[in-house]
Structure 1
Amino acid sequence: IARSTGTISDHVDKVQRVLTSYDVASRSNEDKLHGAHRKMEELELTASEMFDRIVQAGLSPEDSAMVAQAQSMMQELAAHTEAAIASGAITMAALFDTEYVPVPDTNPQLYRTRLSDWAHAEWRPFLDRAKAGDPRVLAAACTDLNGFLPTHLTERSRTPTGDLAHDTKYCRNGRLMFEAIDRKAKASKAPYMMAVYRQEGDGASYVVVRNVYVPLVLGGRRWGDFELAYSFD
């Protein structure tokens, strides 16, 4: 038992080293390359792959507990949505609408679909509850297979003001966010996928977070993912 505990501790330390190394490397490259996006994506994918392997192997109990938490939340949200489909409150066509209509005069650009209003009313409370229920949780979101967020946390769903820093940080409902790590998650067939990435703050500052993607299946079809972003720092 003592040896097992030591092994787990070693792997937990390795997780922290992976995250710290990624943070240092990303900041260094940002400074040297002035936002060389491709290099940042390569760093992110490498760090995420290492992190995912460690968690999938069951060698980081704290992260595995967050996976279980995300899966439980996803199941509650999916059950609520399935009931809405059955009652006719939302249609499959609206749920899977991919005609992203640009919202005028927004920067970053926001979009709307036929799902937006329903998701804002029905999914947002689940996301808020996920954030409020655990101080380690930084954000929760539902992202479709193209990276569209029909809604977000209440605190991140404010009315755009035209101020770029404010709108980047607080107006995230309706964003299309589809980086390399997101594309990998959407293509994954695994029960979940782990990632580490720099979460965009106000567009000028970032924080390295851990993220779990859990596939969200509705009406027998993969809609996208339930995502839980968290930190132990």
Structure 2
Amino acid sequence: MNDLSRPPEAPASETLLNRVTREAVCLGRDIVEVAAVLDTLVQASEGQLAHLAEVRTAAATIEAANATVQGHADAVRGALDDTQEAVQDSVTRMRETGEDARRIAVWVQSVVGHMTEVTRTLEAVRSENAAIRSIATQINILAINAKIEAVRAGDTGRGFAVVAEAINELSRKTAGAAGGIGTAVSGLSEGIQQLRSEAESISTRADAVLDTAGETDRAMGRMTGAVSQTRGVIEAITAQSAKVAAANTRFAPAVARMASATDDTVTQIRSAQQRATALITAGETIVQDSVQLGGAIEDARMIALAKRGADEIGAAFARAITQRRITEAELFTRIYNPIPMSDPPQVLAPFTQLTDRLLPEIQEPILASDARIVFCAAVDRNGYLPTHNRKFSQPQGRDPAWNAANCRNRRIFDDRVGLRAGRSTAPFVLQIYRRDMGGGQFALMKDISAPIEVNGRHWGGFRIGYRF
């Protein structure tokens, strides 16, 4: 006999369908987690690619700078070689000039010595000439006396008078010649004295030239040493620059290989991302098909709430058109006007004011109906969310991260989940995703959406986001 008190057992096919539905939901959650890891890997790899690009740029800059240094070092080394040659030539010329100056100084000193001897000789000549003048004067006096005596002697002394006159004439000429010699000797003595003074001055200058030449020679020697030392430093720089060039030659290909490997990794990860996205879509399709075939899942209540909300919003929009509160063209427009200074960007559409009036009375009760619900809001086919829940519709402040978490109305959410929710015409769509809460924070969520129809036209979708 059958026990009529026990409920009838569910057919095996129904139990299997329910299990498939549950496993599809769990699989979707796991795939989303994997996709999140892939997203992180892509971001990290792209960051590495960016850093490697910077490294390659820096390496190229170093290579160019090092080549410039090498070029400058070669130029400086060539200039130093020319300078060293010029300095050495100057040292040789300076030493030759110093030797000439020494010879001139010796010659000038010799001339000064000879002039001293000439001066002494002139003094002797002047002395002898003075004696001659004195003798001539005495002879002249004697001749005058002889003439006087000859006159007194009359005819007898006439011959003697002639001789006395001749002697007197000779004494005058002798005195005149002695005077001329004295004058010439005085002039010559003055000239010799001036020459001696000038020679002594030249000798002093020659000594100064010798001192200067010696100091210049020492300075040139120091300059030669400095040039040699500088050339040694330049050669060391050139050697180090060559080492840098060799290291950079090895480093640049290594960075290029690393960048190529990282780029290949990014390509593979992106391919895996695409496959993960396809798996997510496939899992969501399995859930939808299973539910439509009669499979039971724990999300049935949320599906019913999403459908109810979508129907109520569609009816409210239709009434607004009938009441001429908005035209159908305005309701279905896709023109969005940016709100200045908003960060993240917010936009306004011709229907935003209408949704601000109509949607809160539909959305807020649904939000409060289940503690798991984080948000519920309508989006158009482009993912534009005009009117959010009140808690997510705060005025924007100065902090973009705070704005991203608390000012989510008037935003366009054109990611995969947002666009599929707005564009799907299926009875419902169950999606699992990581919700960006701003500031680098993410929350694993379920998203149930149902299409919003207005007078037979697909306007968008009604989304309910809730926790696992």
Provide the TM-score with structure 2 as the length reference: 0.46
Alignment of 1:57 with 2:305, yes or no, is no
Match of 1:161 in 2: 397
Q: 1:184 to 1:78 in 2, by over 3 A?
A: closer
Q: Determine if contact 1:92/1:219 at 8 Å carries over to the other structure.
A: no
Written as runs of structure 1 = structure 2, the 5 A alignment for 1:36-185 is 43-58=276-291, 59-185=295-421
Moved more, 165-174 or 78-87: 78-87
Kindly indicate which of the two structures has a greater share of residues assigned to helix.
2
1:123-157 Cα offsets, whole Å, 9 max, x none, are: 12311221111112221111111111111111111
- Percent identical among aligned pairs is 23
- Stretches of structure 1 lacking an aligned partner (at least 5 in a row): none
* Distance of 1:20 and 1:189 partners within structure 2: 23
Aligned length: 232
Q: CA deviation at 1:224?
A: 0.9
Please give the root-mean-square deviation of Cα atoms over the aligned residues, in Å: 2.5
Q: CA deviation at 1:23?
A: 4.4
1:156-211 Cα offsets, whole Å, 9 max, x none, are: 11100021111101111111111234444455342222211111112411112111
Alignment of 1:11 with 2:20, yes or no, is yes
* Matched letter for residue 22 of structure 1: I
* Distance of 1:197 and 1:44 partners within structure 2: 11
Q: 1:12 to 1:184 in 2, by over 3 A?
A: closer
Q: 1:78 to 1:209 in 2, by over 3 A?
A: same
Alignment of 1:26 with 2:26, yes or no, is no
Q: CA deviation at 1:80?
A: 2.1
* Distance of 1:16 and 1:218 partners within structure 2: 31
Q: Determine if contact 2:429/2:450 at 8 Å carries over to the other structure.
A: yes
Q: 1:201 to 1:55 in 2, by over 3 A?
A: same
Q: CA deviation at 1:31?
A: 3.7
Rg (Cα) greater in structure: 2
Moved more, 23-32 or 151-160: 23-32
- Stretches of structure 2 lacking an aligned partner (at least 5 in a row): 1-8, 47-268
Q: 1:146 to 1:31 in 2, by over 3 A?
A: closer
* Matched letter for residue 276 of structure 2: L
Q: CA deviation at 1:82?
A: 1.7
Moved more, 103-112 or 67-76: 67-76
Provide the TM-score with structure 1 as the length reference: 0.87
Moved more, 8-17 or 155-164: 8-17
* SS of residue matched to 2:462: strand
* Matched letter for residue 220 of structure 1: G
Kindly indicate which of the two structures has a greater share of residues assigned to strand.
1
1:107-133 Cα offsets, whole Å, 9 max, x none, are: 111000111112112112311221111
